[in-house]
Amino acid sequence: MESQIFNSINHLKQLNDNPFTLQKIAYWLYEYNDLYKEVKNYSENLCEQCQQWKDDGLPYDCLQEANYCTKRYRYFTNFYEEVEYGIKVQELDAACKVALEEYKTNNNELQLKEWLIKYFDFGYNKLAIFYYDHLDYSVDNNEVVHPHFGNSPIGEFGVCIDRRYYKNLIEFDDVFKMLFYERKIYPEKLKEIEEEMQKIVTPMVPIPKID
Ligand SMILES: [Zn+2]
């Protein structure tokens, strides 16, 4: 299993055009989906040590991914899922295109507010992970940034997929944030969110990214 994992990741590395094309990522996921399922199943049966901790009512998770533990290949399934998310979220690009077309037909505040209400859950909840974790706006504007979907556990490379496939997702986010935070078109919701934010303060620790 270990060598299959190693080979699959090596294969992905060879496919890298930096950034990846969507097709190559989809192909890789398809090629190694059986391996993913196999590793996933394997890691679901607890090793003796984990089982014992579980029986004792303790948190069970072999630390350091010990070589007897069935969970030791989770780095692969976790990575696979991160990469797979890149494809799943891209499927929403078409919905964003529709939303943007609708947006462009709006010409007064009331219509804009209706638009924002209609797409609020979509923009604020459904796409939040994508914008926060995968799209990095913090680098300078002259540099083209591609959405990032995980760092390989082997071989020191990150998975960035060409941003052209996410064009509408990115544009949607710009419009959404501009209307919601800058123009404050939907003030009662903004107030509600600000109040919620004051209750929960969670530190945001950015994950280091490798290009
Ligand atoms: Zn274990």
Sorting pLDDT into bands at 50, 70 and 90, what band is 83? Answer: very high
- Segment 5-22, tens digit of pLDDT: 999 999 999 999 889 999
pLDDT of 204 above 70: no
Element (H, E) at 150: strand 148-151
Between the CA of 72 and the centroid of ligand 1 the distance, in Å, is 8
Between the CA of 158 and the centroid of ligand 1 the distance, in Å, is 28
User: Using CA atoms, how far apart are residues 105 and 42, in angstroms rounded to an integer?
Assistant: 52
Residue 146: CB partners within 8 Å, gap ≥ 6? 19, 160, 161, 162, 163
Domain ranges of the chain: 2-199
Residue 30: CB partners within 8 Å, gap ≥ 6? none
Between the CA of 67 and the centroid of ligand 1 the distance, in Å, is 9
Between the CA of 38 and the centroid of ligand 1 the distance, in Å, is 17
Sorting pLDDT into bands at 50, 70 and 90, what band is 62? Answer: confident
Terminal-residue alpha carbon distance, the chain: 27
Between the CA of 49 and the centroid of ligand 1 the distance, in Å, is 5
User: Using CA atoms, how far apart are residues 200 and 108, in angstroms rounded to an integer?
Assistant: 35
Between the CA of 56 and the centroid of ligand 1 the distance, in Å, is 14
Between the CA of 114 and the centroid of ligand 1 the distance, in Å, is 52
- Segment 17-57, tens digit of pLDDT: 889 999 999 999 999 999 999 999 999 999 999 999 899 99
pLDDT of residue 207: 67
0.75 exceeded by pTM:
yes
**Average pLDDT for 146-153:** 92
pLDDT of 85 above 70: yes
- The string of DSSP letters for 167-189 reads HHHHHHHHHHHIIIIIS-SSHHH
